[in-house]
Amino acid sequence: MKNPLTHVNAAGEVHMVGVDHKPATARTAVAMARVRMQRETLERLLTGTGPKGDVAATARIAGIQAAKRTSELIPLCHPIALTGAEIALRYEAPTEDAKLATVEIRATVHAFDRTGVEMEALVAASTAALTIYDMLKAIDRWMTITDVGLLEKSGGRSGNLRREGA
């Protein structure tokens, strides 16, 4: 029986799978993360009056840098030559039902390569969220990062996939 674990060899040792036999195709992945915070914290982010400066611009740059360096962070990821990366932020003020404000981060990553960019998109969204936390923690230590996940991907053997409701 063939080993069902793709990153484990016949001896049971972890290894990076070969992708040299796979054709290079256009690949895209979109991932998200949310940062929940107090209303006042969101106001400081939006007005640029946070203790460390322009939170949104810094989070976008951090996410793009993280996407480019994913293979240095995740041991079995292949280095991929990205052709594009975008970090979009959407803001939701609190309502009576939801007492906390939310920053939704969507990271979209593109490549023309032999393997997918899902991990690059997830690392980008996560790092952008962590950067928002870092830049605002002096005024709101109880922010939370939630809902980190893949929303969609295209290209490769599995084709196009989209999370229901995304």
Per annotation, catalytic residue among 54, 134, 140, 147 = 134
The residue to which tokens 């009056």 are assigned: 49
97: helix, coil or strand? coil
- Cα angle value 33/76/17 (rounded, 5°): 130
Query: Residue 113 catalytic?
Result: no
Q: At what angle do helices 39-47 and 118-136 cross, to 10 degrees?
A: 100
> What amino acid occupies position 161?
L
35, β-bridge pairs: 103, 145
The residues that are catalytic are: 134
